[in-house]
Amino acid sequence: MLENTHQATPSKKLRYSAEGSTFALIYFKNLVLTVLTLGLYYPWARVALLKYQHRATSLGDKTFDFHGIPSTIFKSYAKLYLLIVLLYSVLFFGLLSQNDLTSAICLGSFYLLLVLLLPFVLHGIVQYRSKNTSWKGITLQYLGSKYELFWAVLQGVLITLLTLGIYAPWFHTKIRKYLISHLRFGNLSFDFKGTGETLFWIQLKCILFLIPSLGIYSFWYLRNLLNFYVENIEITQDGKKVALKFDIQMGDLFQLIIINVVLRMITLGIATPWIMTRNLQFFSKHLVIEGIELSEIQQVTYSTPQTGAQATDFLHFDLA
């Protein structure tokens, strides 16, 4: 009897095992404390939610973990709020000046500075979430530079304005590719192969078909969008490609969305944590990772861009 030496490509699925009732207790506790403290409790609420969601997510037989520190996040939010207050001060000064030229300059400065702040905030979120996410002691790392991201965002915003928004899908895809291609998880590297042209046609078809279909096409649009974002992520493990598949059927997506809408309506929003749990369980159930060797994922230390001492860098944000 001949021995079959052919081995099937290993396939793995994420598993999200959170319970809606447990998550709801955390969610509403955080909501109440955040409201009572006028938002000051938000960093502690955010970390509590992320810790629970990470620990409820497993790959193979090991769960993820989140190690963020609320006090660190609080300091960055305080700095960010200060900057936003300063920006609104410029805006209100222009409105109160009763001078059209001054108002126009202040309004333009407000939006310009807000756009310039965006890449630093985005960089801070991705970097902090990455370095505080682990699996089997292996830490996710983000190797991007906030200054490279700044110039990419600035260029994208200018071209999008000059093209009256037509460039937006290419801009969005370019930023997504930059962020994903600078992620490392042990000896796993990532890339994004989606193109602005593909995203443009997905969005254009939605614009053309949404109203004639009385909104029904939105289900196909969402499925196409999810497939675009997930299946264009390319993972490489020691030179071998790992494929991501999102095996979603229209019936599954339709059922998920309709039930979520009904739950939100009849409970006046109280079912929000259960809806969030259903969404994450749905995503993990249908996401398939083909060709990955979990036992061969090993911690690798990468050098990060040197941009000066972060402790004295006012545009460094630790956000989650």
Per-residue pLDDT tens for 166-224? 999 999 999 999 999 999 999 999 999 999 999 999 999 999 999 999 999 999 999 99
CA-closest candidate to residue 238, choices 282, 279, 293: 293
pLDDT of res. 22: 94
pLDDT of res. 307: 53
23, 277 Cβ separation under 8 angstroms: yes
pLDDT of res. 311: 43
pLDDT of res. 276: 95
Residues of the chain with pLDDT under 50: 1-8, 308-312
CA-closest candidate to residue 130, choices 118, 144, 120, 119: 144
pLDDT of res. 39: 92
Rounded distance, CA 59 to CA 50, Å?
17
pLDDT of res. 151: 94
pLDDT of res. 12: 73
pLDDT of res. 292: 85
